[in-house]
Amino acid sequence: MIETLISNSAMRWLILGLIFGLVALVTLGVLNFVNRRAAVKSTLQEITKDTTYRVGLESNRVASREAHWRSIADRIEKSGLNLTDANNVRLREKMIAAGFKSPDAPRIYSLTRLLLIFLLPGLFVLAAVTRDEPPSFLSIYVFGSILGLMGLYLPALFIRAKIDRRREAVINGFPDALDLMLVCMEAGLGIEAAMDRVGREVARSHPLIAELFAGAVLLLRAGASREEAMRKMADNAAIDEIRAFTTLLIQSDRLGTSISQTLRVYAAEMREKRQMRAEEKAHRLPVLLSIPLVVFMLPTMIGVLMLPAAIRMVRDIFPLMNR
């Protein structure tokens, strides 16, 4: 049967046509599927360009993670262990400065420290016990104590690093945002519309500033006064430069002075400070480069210079001294 079909040229062409049509239909279906996915993806990207939507999506993800950690903290506190820090107000300010704005952030921080204090030494003891030759009790005690101290201080170092990185990112990008805000206000926009527009424009380049502006705009739209929204933005930022900026806006609004002139002067001042910080880092480079130079290159140079003299002493002077 198959040989008969193959020997007939018309049947061969018919089979080849059917195969070609099947392959073409499958290809068109795959291309249509890919194009629809690409269209949906581009639509979602256009939607997420809006700062308000993106802040909402990000807040939903953060809220789900916080709810999970909150449930764990609640279960531990129900067992009788209090996770509230003695200096809870100061810890709350540090968590806000690091970008963790949840009211449960101090409890989660204390829970993380508590888990690391027991988890790191426990992992070390487990790894030590499973060895062929277990270490001595003294080494287990010393290394376990060191790992316990690391578990106690590593979260604090992480929070400090987050605070420094967040502060640097906001301060470095804030002059550019002020310039855009100045342009918007000189074009006739109000402060709320200008902050909204600038927040949308800097959402990609400076997302932290966009988040601060979006929060202030949402408060203003919710009915809060301008002073209340500005002070809330300063509290969320927890940065001295942002507090000074919001104070200037509040004073300009109260006294009726030109906000555009205030923005121009403050933007120039912050830009000058940014340039001074960059120059300071540039001047620190020679000092930092001298450390590897002294540690690695200087011993090598001393060895290269002193090696011929040492060989000469070993060959010629030491035999004479032994006679």
The predicted-structure confidence for 18-45, as pLDDT tens digits, reads as follows: 787 888 888 888 888 888 888 777 766 6
**What average pLDDT does this structure show over 167-186?**
85
**Which one has a higher pLDDT value, 144 or 7?**
144
Q: How many residues are listed for the chain in this entry?
A: 323
Nearest Cα to Cα of residue 126 among 135, 138, 116 = 135
Domain's final residue, options 162, 184, 202: 162
Q: Please indicate, yes or no, whether residues 86 and 173 belong to a single structural domain of this protein.
A: no
Structural domain contains residue 297: no
Q: Decide: 104 and 73 in contact? Cβ < 8 Å.
A: yes
Structural domain contains residue 61: yes
The domain tally of the chain equals: 3
Domain's final residue, options 105, 131, 162: 162
- Which domain does 107 fall in, by range? 51-162
Tokens of residue 200, six digits: 């949308």
Tokens of residue 3, six digits: 């040989």
Structural domain contains residue 66: yes
Structural domain contains residue 256: yes
User: DSSP states of 37-65 as a string?
Assistant: HHHHHHHHHHHHTSHHHHHHHHHHHHHHH
Number of other CB atoms surrounding residue 227 within 10 Å: 14
Q: Please indicate, yes or no, whether residues 148 and 181 belong to a single structural domain of this protein.
A: no
Q: What is the widest separation between alpha-carbon atoms in the chain?
A: 111
Predicted confidence band of residue 322 (pLDDT cuts 50, 70, 90): low
Q: Please indicate, yes or no, whether residues 62 and 150 belong to a single structural domain of this protein.
A: yes
- State yes or no: pLDDT of 128 exceeds 70: yes
207: helix, strand or coil: helix
Tell me the torsion sign for CA atoms 285, 286, 290, 292. positive
**What average pLDDT does this structure show over 69-86?**
70
Q: Please indicate, yes or no, whether residues 136 and 189 belong to a single structural domain of this protein.
A: no
Task: Measure the CA–CA gap between 99 and 59, rounded to whole angstroms.
Answer: 12
Q: Please indicate, yes or no, whether residues 206 and 263 belong to a single structural domain of this protein.
A: yes
Q: Torsion angle, CA of 260/262/268/269, rounded to 10 degrees? A: -170
Structural domain contains residue 269: yes
Q: Please indicate, yes or no, whether residues 80 and 104 belong to a single structural domain of this protein.
A: yes
pLDDT in tens, 290-317: 888 888 888 888 888 888 888 887 787 7
DSSP 8-state class, residue 190: -
Q: Please indicate, yes or no, whether residues 127 and 212 belong to a single structural domain of this protein.
A: no
Q: Decide: 243 and 148 in contact? Cβ < 8 Å.
A: no
Structural domain contains residue 298: no
- State yes or no: pLDDT of 51 exceeds 60: no
Tell me the whole-structure pTM to 2 decimals: 0.62
Q: Please indicate, yes or no, whether residues 158 and 234 belong to a single structural domain of this protein.
A: no
Q: Please indicate, yes or no, whether residues 196 and 249 belong to a single structural domain of this protein.
A: yes
pLDDT score recorded for residue 191: 81
pLDDT score recorded for residue 12: 67
**Which one has a higher pLDDT value, 136 or 282?**
282
Q: Decide: 200 and 51 in contact? Cβ < 8 Å.
A: yes
- State yes or no: pLDDT of 49 exceeds 80: no
Domain's final residue, options 262, 277, 292: 277
